[in-house]
Amino acid sequence: MNKKAETMYENGVRSLSALSETQYESANNNSETSLSTPFDLTKRLRFWALQHRITQAAINDLLSILILAGFTFLPQDSRTLMQTPNIVKIYALSAGKMWYHGIRKSLQSIFSNLNCELTLRIDFNFDGMPLFKSSKVQFWPILASIREFPKVLPMIVGIWCGEGKPPLNEYIRPLISELEDLLENGTMINGNHIKCHFGLCICDTPARSFIKGVVNFNHEYGCQKCMAGGEYYLQSHRMSFPKCDGIRRTDEMFRNRIQPQHHKDKSLMEKLNIDMVSQFPTSDPLHLLELGVMKKLLVCWVYGAKGYRCKWSKQKTNDVSKLLEKFNKQMPNDIHRAIRKLDSLKYWKGVEFRTVLLYVGMVAFKEALSIEEYDPVEYFQFDSNEYIQVRKLSTHDGPSFETL
């Protein structure tokens, strides 16, 4: 790891250590408190600085002005105000560094005023994000959210930093060690017992394969729901799963390695008393629909595909681009990104494909496609809308992702 990335990681972790102690209380405290006491003003200033990402230099200038104005009880330095810890435990691993905050500490921050017993279902997310375009250094945060309290901000349980993907079991070992005890015994806060259950592990497709220790989605035996083998098409360089009658995977079959070709590593996740199939939902519309089928269709229409006569003419491509630009002026407020022209298709983000898929595609493509081409696209877009609606309902009504 280079020096710049290492410094950024340590500074970021130090800020997160201070943030985790205050942001949950700020997010969950809806009562209006007066500013009559020094503690109230100090706490309000801390929340304000966190919410608006105020720099330390700006906070120091503000504190000096407030002290001159008579608020002499305020600290003189931003680090004192923000309660930035002097020492943060960062563990050196074989291929990077790990900061682990823990689930219990996060729960204590969220439920600091708890006066009753609770039963919680905790969902987890794992994913990687590059720090620089010219470096392999990545962050791999471990996030957790509480199903019963959807308005509570996600908990930052830990962060790994290093080049490329982390070693699987080193990365999740502190989490598994804590979860083994937490799921069995729960935790105590203010004398009240909190019982915890493992909810779902919600990841995108590559991260889910990594955490489970199985082969990628484009492998012959990459399907995580059934044992059907895929077929590789050399002409289009893709793996397809045309068979829909494969034997459905179960937790017992997964742990007994009934299909060894499906497994790559033995994940420490298997130490937990969870279902390694149904509690790892595959409902990932970003990669399956938006960056999957929708992107594939648009790439074929705009750039063409080898062996298929599907490429649009330049005039037809320009006509569709003009329609998309026209739609941008009439978009509702909940769509925050405008759709770019089709000549910038390779730079599109997932949300742009989503807007085309769910909202404007059926209108924009009607004149550009023949009836034989348009009907399947119309059915696909209708089914995608139904899929999204069912997914939203399942999110609010309980752990029914595995039914999708």
The residues spanned by each domain of the chain are: 1-88, 90-202, 205-281, 286-394
- Which long-range contacts (C-beta less than 8 Å, at least 24 apart) are formed by 111-118? 111/189, 111/190, 111/194, 112/25, 112/189, 112/190, 113/190, 114/189, 114/190, 114/192, 114/194, 115/190, 115/192, 116/192, 117/192, 117/193, 117/194, 117/195, 118/148, 118/192, 118/194, 118/195
Q: What is the pLDDT of residue 280?
A: 95
Separation of CA 50 from chain center: 21
- CB-side neighbour CA atoms (13 Å) of 235: 4
Q: What is the pTM of this model?
A: 0.73
Asked if residues 377 and 365 have their Cβ atoms less than 8 Å apart, the reply is yes
Query: Residues for the chain: how many in total?
Result: 404
Separation of CA 297 from chain center: 25
Asked if residues 120 and 194 have their Cβ atoms less than 8 Å apart, the reply is yes
Burial class (CB in 10 A: 0-12, 13-18, 19+), 76: exposed
More confident residue, 43 or 63: 63
Residue 99: which pLDDT band, with cuts at 50, 70 and 90? very high
Residue range 130-169, pLDDT digits in tens: 888 888 889 999 999 999 998 888 999 999 999 889 999 9
Q: What is the pLDDT of residue 379?
A: 64
pLDDT > 70: percent of the chain: 83
Other beta carbons less than 10 A from residue 386's beta carbon: 10
Asked if residues 86 and 13 have their Cβ atoms less than 8 Å apart, the reply is no
Asked if the model's pLDDT at residue 18 lies above 70, the reply is no
Residue range 236-270, pLDDT digits in tens: 778 888 888 889 999 999 999 999 999 999 999 99
Separation of CA 151 from chain center: 16
pLDDT > 90: percent of the chain: 44
Q: What is the pLDDT of residue 400?
A: 35
For CA atoms 267, 394, 387, 299, the dihedral sign is: negative
Q: Which amino acid would we find at residue 114? A: L
Buried b / exposed e across 341-352, counting CB within 10 Å, b at 16+? Answer: ebeebeebebeb
Separation of CA 345 from chain center: 24
Q: What is the pLDDT of residue 218?
A: 87
How far apart CA 324 and CA 330 sit, in angstroms, is 10
